[in-house]
Amino acid sequence: MSAPANNELRFLVVDALAGVQTFARQLLEGFGFPSHSIRNAGDTASALTIGLEFKPDFLITDWFPKADLSGIALFQRLKTVNPGCRLALLSFEITPAHEAEAAAAGSRFLLRKPFTADDLKTTMRRSLEQLAQERPELAQRLNAVMKAQQGPGHLPPKIVLPPLPPQLRAGDKVKYEGQSDTVQYVVVRSGELVVQLKNKTELIPAHKLQRL
């Protein structure tokens, strides 16, 4: 993988769900950012290792409330190697306390999960437009990309949202491994939505379930 040029914006996307990582990468590439300027990680520990060397300009991360290193704590560590790094947060749970903490950390947005393709696309576009006001060279690049996408005969990149966890609650009927079951309770574990089913002893990642 080639390294980004010094004047290229670097993105680090951190989420336990591979689908979120993939979609965020596709979305950023659709905005015209080269693939080598985007890195992914599934947890904050590995993200820290990547980020200390990669020095991202924009960190998009799950809140990771149960991890030893939360998303906000990761951001604070990465700012030691790139003080200009920006933060964007994703979370299954958003309370007034979360909003206040995100604002205090300077987060560009706090987006509730699960979200739709349009939710993330619109939110990212607004954040990039705001960022473009701070980085004139980025504004020129984004304007060029948007203009090219609207040109005659040009089809914009097709962005497909990978499966994201369904919104579930106790009592919902679901299918897992071909068998019907009932949701007992839903929890967030290390930033991932997991479910206890009536007939299973282990917790099941929500994205592996099909709502009936």
Residues 29 and 121 in one domain: yes
pLDDT of residue 14: 96
The per-residue pLDDT of the chain, averaged, comes to 80
- When comparing pLDDT for 140 and 118, which is higher? 118
| Residue 184 lies inside a defined structural domain of this protein | yes
| Residue 164 lies inside a defined structural domain of this protein | no
Residues 129 and 185 in one domain: no
Measured CA to CA, the distance from residue 140 to residue 207 in angstroms comes to 38
Q: Which of 149, 184, 203 is the last residue of a domain?
A: 149
Residues 15 and 114 in one domain: yes
Query: For residue 50, what are its two tokens?
Result: 């990547």
Residues in the chain: 212
Q: Is the pLDDT of residue 35 over 60?
A: yes
Mean of pLDDT values over 118-127: 82
**Reported confidence tier of residue 188, pLDDT bands at 50, 70, 90:** low
pLDDT digits (tens, 9 = 90+) for 140-163: 666 665 555 555 554 444 444 444
| Residue 155 lies inside a defined structural domain of this protein | no
Residues 42 and 126 in one domain: yes
**Sequence-distant (≥ 6) Cβ neighbours of residue 170 within 8 angstroms:** 183, 184, 185, 186
The count of domains in the chain is 2
pLDDT of residue 51: 96
Structural domain harbouring 205:
173-211
Residues 36 and 117 in one domain: yes
Residues 138 and 45 in one domain: yes
Residues 27 and 127 in one domain: yes
DSSP 38-78: EEEESSHHHHHHHHHHH--SEEEEE--TTSSS-HHHHHHHH
Q: What is the CATH number of the domain that holds 39?
A: 3.40.50.2300
pLDDT digits (tens, 9 = 90+) for 36-64: 999 999 999 999 999 999 999 999 999 99
| Residue 105 lies inside a defined structural domain of this protein | yes
| Residue 167 lies inside a defined structural domain of this protein | no
